[in-house]
């Protein structure tokens, strides 16, 4: 029995409010999240890919992505859920075997077909999720089914009426939960009305991305969101802070007798 998976599952419904999942891209970040007092950690595929020198959306080599994620999982005693993007071409049994071998508590699996620039057929994606659940057997891996309706609309330039995006998201959420997903993640869903409607109508836990300038953690909690994550944004912030610090060092070094500690 995977005790970390059990713990992650418990954290989704312990009554203490939404599960806060900091998204990390390396061992240093995972250990920082542990030191900060978080109960669980998630990986960010965009952050890992960037660190490895690649773009996102499954453009990085699978083996490198999985190796980096495995190091994160093994670096902390906390439950770690791994962003598997679209699954990297792995079958359900291969996904479960890898998650189990590295000790992951769960995974994200998304319904984007990046190579085609479209969403997977809802029934086919539901079958895939059902396959992962069946392959897991008695292992309580937490499957977070990412729904990319809002993301795909943004990539294509937007313009789809919000009501249509919500309707398709609800259809996919119901199908994925019925197939065995433990939580659904309508990435880029935003705004009090939209998030409130999704949380109110989806028959299961909902993960919402905490967007810069969007609803706060408290506001998302008040709407009944079960799980909050940060996607690439912690990585983006860290990169900006690193750039600012390095710029300060360079400028200080360019001054006669300068040093970063000189003010």
Q: Each residue of 68-110: pLDDT tens digit?
A: 999 999 999 999 999 999 999 999 999 999 999 999 999 999 9
Does the structure show a pLDDT above 50 at 18? yes
pTM: 0.91
Beta strand 112-113 with 227-229 is unpaired
In three-state secondary structure terms, 255 is coil
Q: 10 Å Cβ neighbour count for 203?
A: 10
- Residue 258 — pLDDT band, cuts 50, 70, 90? low
CA–CA dist 184, 207 (Å, integer): 6
36, with CB counted inside 10 A (0-12, 13-18, 19+), is exposed
Write down the pLDDT at residue 263: 46
CA–CA dist 234, 229 (Å, integer): 10
Does the structure show a pLDDT above 50 at 146? yes
Write down the pLDDT at residue 261: 53
Query: Residue 225: which of 20, 18, 2, 8 has the closest Cα?
Result: 18
- Residue 262 — pLDDT band, cuts 50, 70, 90? very low
Count Cα neighbours of 82 within 13 Å in the Cβ-side half-sphere.
28
Q: Where are the beta strands (DSSP E) in 75-153?
A: 80-83, 106-110, 112-113, 118-119, 142-147
**Percent of the chain whose pLDDT exceeds 70:** 95
Q: Which residues of 48-78 are buried (b: 16+ CB within 10 A; e: fewer)?
A: bbbbeebebbbebeeeebbebbbebbebbeb
Query: How does the average pLDDT of the chain come out, rounded?
Result: 94
Query: Residue 209: which of 222, 195, 224 has the closest Cα?
Result: 195
> Check: CATH 3.30.1490.20 for 16-249?
no
């Amino acid at each position: 029995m995977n005790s970390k998976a059990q713990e992650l599952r418990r954290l989704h419904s312990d009554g203490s409010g939404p599960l806060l999942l900091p998204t990390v891209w390396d061992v240093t970040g995972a250990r920082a999240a542990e030191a900060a007092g978080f109960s669980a950690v998630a990986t960010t595929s965009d952050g890992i890919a960037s660190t490895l020198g690649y773009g996102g959306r499954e453009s990085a080599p699978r083996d490198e992505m999985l190796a980096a994620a495995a190091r994160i999982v093994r670096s902390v005693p906390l439950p770690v859920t791994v962003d598997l993007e679209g699954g990297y071409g792995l079958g359900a049994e291969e996904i479960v075997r890898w998650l189990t071998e590295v000790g992951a508590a769960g995974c994200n699996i998304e319904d984007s077909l990046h190579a085609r620039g479209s969403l997977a057929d809802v029934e086919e994606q539901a079958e895939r999720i059902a396959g992962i659940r069946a392959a897991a057997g008695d292992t309580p891996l937490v499957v977070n089914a990412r729904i990319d309706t809002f993301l795909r609309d943004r990539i294509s330039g937007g313009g789809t009426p919000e009501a249509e995006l919500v309707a398709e998201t609800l259809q996919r959420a119901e199908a994925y939960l019925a197939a065995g997903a433990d939580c659904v993640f309508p990435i880029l869903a935003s705004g009090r009305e939209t998030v409130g409607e999704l949380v109110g109508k989806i028959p299961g836990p909902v993960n919402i991305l905490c967007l810069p300038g969007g609803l706060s953690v408290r506001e998302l909690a008040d709407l009944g969101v079960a799980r909050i994550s940060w996607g690439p944004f912690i990585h983006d912030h860290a990169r900006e802070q690193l750039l600012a610090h390095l710029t300060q060092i360079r400028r200080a070094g360019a001054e006669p007798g300068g040093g970063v500690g000189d003010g």
